[in-house]
A and B are shown apart, each in its own frame.
Chain A
Amino acid sequence: MQKWDELEKSSFLDANARQRAIGMTDKGSFTELLGPRDRFTSPHLPVLGTAVEFDDGMVTGVGRIGKHPVFVISMEGKFIGGAIGEVNGGKMVGTIRLAEKAAARIQKEHPDEYAARRPLVVISFETGGVRLHEANAGLLAHAEVMDAFQDCRHKLPIICVVGSKVGCFGGMGFVAAATDVIIMNEQGRIGLTGPEVIEQEMGKEEFDASNKALVYRTTGAKQKYIMGDCNYLVEDTIGSFYQAIADVADKPMAEIEKLRRIGSVKLVEEQMGLVKLVGDMQPKDAMDLWKYYGNEKPEELPELSTAEFLKVVKCRVRN
C-alpha cells in the first residue's frame, strides 16, 4: 500500500475505494471494519455466475481527524459498478449506526468535549444504485440508510464525497442529496436517472448520452456547485478531500445545517422555488441556468480549472 503522504497527493478519481478511505482520515488512523479477511462476500452473486469480492465492493471502517472519530464508507465502482446489495448495504447501514452510537457514548463520556470529539460519517459514493442481482435487498438497504441518516440528524454530520468515475446515481442519488455536506471534484457527478435512460426516455435529439460534455453539464460537479448542491468543489487529490472534510469536522452543527439542501420545510420551500423557475424557464441545457445566475459566458465554465472556476463563477443565491 502506498504511503499516506503519497496518497494525499494522488488522484482521488484514479484511486481505489481503500486508498480513498485511508487518505480521507488522519495518517495511520484508519482501521478497516469487515475487511477482506472477514470474507463477507455476497451470498447471491455466485448462483448467478457473477464474480464476488471479499469486501463486497465497499470499504468500511473508522479513522480519525484530530479527535473526531471518522466513520468511513467508501464504495468501489470497479466491482459491479459499485452497486448496492445485501452485504454492502448492510455494511453501509451498520457503519452509520456505529457512528450514531459512538456519538451517544461520547456525549455521555465526554460531555464537555463533544464539539471537539463529535464523530462524523464520510461516504464516498461510487455507485449506480441498486445491484440488480440482489435488487430487492439493495432497495431495502437504501431505505435503511435514509432511516439511519435521520437518526444522526442534528447530532453528527454526514458528509457525501463524490469524485469517482461512476459518480452517484439511482437510489444513491437521493441518499447523497440527504446528507449534510457534499464535497466533489470536477469529475464527480450526482443524479437520479443515468444519461442512457434519459436518452432512452427523451430521444437522442433531446439528450445524447454519448455527449459527455452535455452529461457533465447536466449532473457534473460544476453544475452542482452553481446550483448550490455541492458545498465544496475541490481539486482531484485525496488530500483536497481530506482538507475539506477536516474543515467540516470542526464546524458547529448549526453551521453545518446551513449547508444542507433538503430536510426541512424551509429547505423544501426553497427547492420549490427552483422547480418553479425551471418550470417557467424550460431550460434546454444547464447553461441556460448558469446564464440566468449571472454567468455571461456559460460555455467557458467547463473549460476552466477548478481554481479559475471558483474565482469567476456566479452561483444560485440561497436564502
Chain B
Amino acid sequence: MDEFDNTMIGRGRDAIDMIVDPDTFQENAIGTYQCEPDYGPCASVGTAQLKGRPVTIIANDAQQFNERFPVVFGGVIGMEEAYKMAMAVYHSIEADKDKPIAEKRPILLIVDTPGNGPGKMEEIAGMNKATGSYQLALAEARKTGHPVIACVIGRAISGAFLCHGLQADHILALSKEYGTMIHVMPLTSISRITKMDIEKLEALSTSNPVFAAGAEFFYKLGGVEEIINKVEDMRDVIARHVDDVYATKAKGEFEKLGPWGRGLLGEERGGRVVRLKAMAKMDEEFEAVADQYLNA
C-alpha cells in the first residue's frame, strides 16, 4: 500500500479515535453487557460518545489474529467476531428498548475487512450462520429505530461487506485516494473468468458500474451514500448522517434507508434501473391473479 501514504487500511482502532469524542471509547461494554476481552479479537466493539451522544462502535481490528481459528487475521470476520458483532447490536437494542426513536443510540460500523473466515472448521460449524446472525441483528436494530451508519475506511470485500456494512441505513466511504476498496472481485479476476481484456472491462465499467471495483462505482449504484474526500472530515460527516437518519426515521420513512433505500438511490443515480421495473411488473402480474390466492 505504499502508493497511499495516508491509507486507513489496517487502522480500525485509529479510526475509532479519529471519529469519537476523545477518550470516550469503552471497549467491550454495551449497556449492561460486557463482552469477554479475548473473544473474537479481530473485531472491536464497545460504546463511545459522538458529539456527546452514546454510540455503539463495531470495528474490524486488522492487527489481531484469532489463535483458535487460524484463518482469522488481518481484519477477517470469523465466527467469534461475527457473533460478537451480533451481540453488540442486540445489546444496543436491549439497552434502549424502552426509549423513543430519537434516543435510540446510533450504531457505527467501521469497515475494513477482506472477508469471512474461509476455513474448514468455519464450514463445519457454519460460518454462514455467524455472518447471517449479525445481518439480522443489524436489520432489526435499523427497523427498531437505531440509526446504523457504516463507514468504509479500508477494505469492504464481497461477503464481508454484506455482513459488516450493507445492512446500514447509510454507507459512507473514504475516497479512493485513501486506498479504499469496495468490490466483490477485482477486475483482474473478472477478466480471467469472462476472458475479456482488462482494458475493455475498464472501458465498459465507466458506462456500466455494475461489475467494476471501487467506491465510486458503488456510489453510482446507490451502494454508497456519500464519499468522504478527507479523512479529517469523517467525524463530522458521520455525525451529520446520524442526524439525517434520525430525521428520516422520525418521519417514518424507513424505506428511504437501508438496502431498500439504496435501491431507490441507485435508480436515481442511474445505476440499477431494471430491477424496479421488474418488480413493478411482478406486482402487476400478481394483482391480476391475487384474488384466487388471497381469497381462495
Asked whether any CB of A lies within 8 Å of a CB of B in the complex, the reply is yes
State whether A49 touches B194 (Cβ < 8 A).
yes
Given contact pairs A147-B259, A201-B119, A218-B120, A229 touches B126 in the complex (Cβ within 8 A) = yes
Within 8 A of B (CB), among A253-287: 261-265, 267-268, 271-272, 274-275, 278-279, 282-286
Instruction: Select B209's contact among A136, A138, A283, beta carbons within 8 Å.
Output: A136
How many A-B pairs have beta carbons closer than 8 Å: the answer is 279
Instruction: Select A171's contact among B122, B159, B212, B286, beta carbons within 8 Å.
Output: B159
- A57 partner residues in chain B, CB cutoff 8 A: none
Within 8 A of A (CB), among B185-218: 185, 189-190, 193-194, 196, 204, 208-212, 217-218
CB of A246 to closest CB in B, whole Å: 15
- B154 partner residues in chain A, CB cutoff 8 A: none
The complex places the Cα of A59 from the Cα of B266 at a distance, in Å, of 25
Q: Which residue of A lies closest to B263 (CB)?
A: A144
State whether A47 touches B274 (Cβ < 8 A).
no
The complex places the Cα of A285 from the Cα of B91 at a distance, in Å, of 34
Contact with B along A97-141 (1 / 0, CB 8 A): 110001001100110000001000000000001101111111111
Which one of A87-95, A236-244, A301-309 contacts B?
A: A87-95
Please tell me if B64 contacts chain A, counting CB pairs below 8 Å. Answer: no
- B167 partner residues in chain A, CB cutoff 8 A: 143, 146-147
Q: Which residue of A lies closest to B156 (CB)?
A: A139
The complex places the Cα of A40 from the Cα of B80 at a distance, in Å, of 41
- B90 partner residues in chain A, CB cutoff 8 A: 264-265, 268
Instruction: Select B161's contact among A139, A151, A263, A284, beta carbons within 8 Å.
Output: A139
Within 8 A of B (CB), among A197-228: 197-198, 201-202, 206-207, 218-219, 223-224, 227
Please tell me if A170 contacts chain B, counting CB pairs below 8 Å. Answer: yes
CB of A60 to closest CB in B, whole Å: 7
The complex places the Cα of A207 from the Cα of B71 at a distance, in Å, of 13
CB of A187 to closest CB in B, whole Å: 17
Which one of A3-11, A16-24, A61-69 contacts B?
A: A61-69
- A285 partner residues in chain B, CB cutoff 8 A: 124
The complex places the Cα of A282 from the Cα of B278 at a distance, in Å, of 47
Within 8 A of A (CB), among B120-162: 120-133, 135-137, 139-140, 143, 158-159, 161-162
Please tell me if B236 contacts chain A, counting CB pairs below 8 Å. Answer: no
State whether A40 touches B125 (Cβ < 8 A).
no
CB of B119 to closest CB in A, whole Å: 6
CB of A179 to closest CB in B, whole Å: 9
The complex places the Cα of A67 from the Cα of B204 at a distance, in Å, of 49
State whether A261 touches B129 (Cβ < 8 A).
yes
Please tell me if B94 contacts chain A, counting CB pairs below 8 Å. Answer: yes
State whether B289 touches A62 (Cβ < 8 A).
yes
The complex places the Cα of A144 from the Cα of B91 at a distance, in Å, of 24
Q: Which residue of B lies closest to A98 (CB)?
A: B286
Instruction: Select B132's contact among A134, A175, A201, A207, beta carbons within 8 Å.
Output: A175
CB of A230 to closest CB in B, whole Å: 11
Within 8 A of B (CB), among A59-84: 60, 62, 64, 67, 69
The complex places the Cα of A6 from the Cα of B194 at a distance, in Å, of 39
Q: Which residue of A lies closest to B90 (CB)?
A: A265
- B1 partner residues in chain A, CB cutoff 8 A: none
Please tell me if A192 contacts chain B, counting CB pairs below 8 Å. Answer: yes
Instruction: Select A140's contact among B135, B266, B274, B278, beta carbons within 8 Å.
Output: B266
Given contact pairs A90-B276, A138-B184, A262-B136, A170 touches B221 in the complex (Cβ within 8 A) = no
- B131 partner residues in chain A, CB cutoff 8 A: 174, 192
The complex places the Cα of A243 from the Cα of B61 at a distance, in Å, of 47
State whether A140 touches B128 (Cβ < 8 A).
no
The complex places the Cα of A193 from the Cα of B277 at a distance, in Å, of 33
Given contact pairs A64-B293, A139-B158, A271-B83, A95 touches B282 in the complex (Cβ within 8 A) = yes
Not counting A135-B190, A177-B126, a sample of 18 additional A-B residue pairs whose C-beta atoms are within 8 angstroms of each other reads A31-B289, A38-B281, A44-B210, A86-B272, A91-B279, A94-B278, A97-B279, A132-B185, A139-B161, A140-B166, A140-B266, A147-B260, A148-B260, A150-B139, A193-B118, A198-B123, A229-B126, A267-B133
Residues of A participating in the B interface, judged by any CB pair closer than 8 Å: 31, 33-34, 38, 40, 43-44, 47-50, 60, 62, 64, 67, 69, 86-87, 89-91, 93-95, 97-98, 102, 105-106, 109-110, 117, 129-130, 132-144, 146-151, 153, 170-171, 173-178, 190-193, 197-198, 201-202, 206-207, 218-219, 223-224, 227, 229, 261-265, 267-268, 271-272, 274-275, 278-279, 282-286, 289
Q: When A and B form their complex, which 5 residue pairs have the shortest distance between CB atoms, in order from nearest? A: A90-B275, A174-B132, A135-B184, A94-B279, A262-B133
Residues of B participating in the A interface, judged by any CB pair closer than 8 Å: 68-69, 71, 79-80, 83, 86-87, 90-91, 94, 116-133, 135-137, 139-140, 143, 158-159, 161-163, 166-167, 183-185, 189-190, 193-194, 196, 204, 208-212, 217-218, 221-223, 258-260, 262-263, 266, 272, 274-279, 281-283, 285-286, 289-290, 293-296
